[in-house]
Amino acid sequence: MTLARDPFDIPADVAYLNCAYMGALPAGAVEAGTSALRAKAHPWEVIADDFFAPVTELRPKLASVLDGDADGIALTSSVSYGVAVAAHNLPVRSGEQIVVLAEQFPSNVYAWRELARRNGAQVVVVERPSDHDWTAAIDRSVSDRTAIVAVPACHWTDGTVVDLEAVGRQARRVGAALVVDVCQAAGAVPIDVGRIDPDFVVGAVYKWLLGPYSLGYLWAARRHRDGEPIEFNWITRAGSEDFAALVDYGDEYGPGARRFDTGEVSNFVGVAVANAAMDYLADHPPAAVAAHGRSLTTRILDGAAELGFTVAPTAVRSPHLVGVGLPDRLDPITVAAHLAERRIHVSVRGASVRISVHLWNTPDDVDRLLAALAEL
């Protein structure tokens, strides 16, 4: 397997270390999107199968990055849509608790706050642990009152990891449901829903899956595939391929998790781009992406520590997404601007500079970053 910058339109003088913000499109995905737009210019050539076949093709590709089954995949418009589906299908009673992390991304918070408000439940926020060990902190927060644990695979601000298999065991121990946001992890690290045993997994394709914006996915455990969708559209119904019979108004849904698909799931351009991006990633499995990322982020954090920046312990670092804490004398916004002036692109999240790598990144990007940090 060759890890190359060539398929990406990233100029040689740009060090793009910001995949956690948005992934770049490989050339094949750009071409697929362009072709799909051209096809829409000739709508008389769009046939019924075009509404279904590309989506059917995409489901197993998305399932593969979760080591799950294609029937468990629903296509959504966003992570928040997937979380809303999960919240709609998980019971919580008055006095029960929903566990989330401090400073968790809002898409995996608002639905739980609303669910708790409606049902007289409580959202329990796991405060950021001083030792960066989210897994142990979650364990201390889970109790017999816990109904739902809703956590990410890693924290979006600095990449500190959550051991999802351990959290799955914690949730099952008290009979709680587990909802996992893998937006900042899928495609970059191996994920195995069989070992984690979540109730729902939600994600988006525009980061490490190198796809378009406004296209997400949900994986539902078999025990939830007869659940209730949050919208009632025609294309999720059994037999919807037969346009002439749509006004028969059948109540039966398509197989698996398809009932949870968003409306206009066919999304001709977005699905075409996502399919092509996933085809590219088929030659770059998550374990290989993680190994490549680890080789770069280890050098970044070791070098940053030598310069006096604060870094998380090795045991709790993600291989692909890391945070660098700044000395008191430095302001994160100023640091990001200093780097951007040198065509080095990162994000500021909280009090950390967030650095995230993918296949296009090279040791030269690391050298440029560390040299720029040394100037501060």
pLDDT band at 257 (very low <50, low <70, confident <90, very high): very high
> DSSP character for 257?
G
Token pair of 53, please?
Answer: 């076949």
Q: Are 98 and 112 in contact, with CB atoms under 8 Å apart?
A: yes
**What's the pTM?**
0.96
DSSP class per residue in 300-321: HHHHHHHTT-B---GGG--SSE
pLDDT in tens, 146-183: 999 999 999 999 999 999 999 999 999 999 999 999 99
Q: What is the dihedral of CA 229, 230, 231, 234, to 10 degrees?
A: -10
Per CATH, which fold does 29-281 belong to? Aspartate Aminotransferase; domain 2 (3.40.640)
Looking at residues 282-292, what average pLDDT do you find? 97
Amino acid letter, residue 80: S
| pLDDT at site 214 | 95
Q: Are 190 and 287 in contact, with CB atoms under 8 Å apart?
A: yes
pLDDT in tens, 203-214: 999 999 999 999
Token pair of 31, please?
Answer: 């071409």
User: Where are the domains positioned within the chain?
Assistant: 29-281, 285-374
The CA-CA-CA angle for residues 174, 180, 186, to 5°, reads 145
CA nearest neighbour of 281 among 197, 359, 181, 169 = 359
Looking at residues 123-142, what average pLDDT do you find? 97
Spatial CB neighbours of 263, under 8 Å, sequence gap ≥ 6: 231, 233, 235
What is the b/e burial string over 47-86, where b = at least 16 CB atoms within 10 angstroms of the residue's CB? eeebbeebbebbbebbbbbbebbbbbbbbbbbbbbbbbbb
pLDDT in tens, 173-192: 999 999 999 999 999 999 99
Partnered with residue 119 across adjacent β-strands are: none
| pLDDT at site 1 | 41
pLDDT in tens, 57-113: 999 999 999 999 999 999 999 999 999 999 999 999 999 999 999 999 999 999 999
What is the b/e burial string over 164-175, where b = at least 16 CB atoms within 10 angstroms of the residue's CB? beebbebbeeee
What percent of the chain lies above the pLDDT cut of 70? 99
Alpha carbons 330 and 366: distance in angstroms, whole number: 20
Return the CATH superfamily for domain 285-374. Aspartate Aminotransferase, domain 1 (3.90.1150.10)
Token pair of 289, please?
Answer: 């992406």
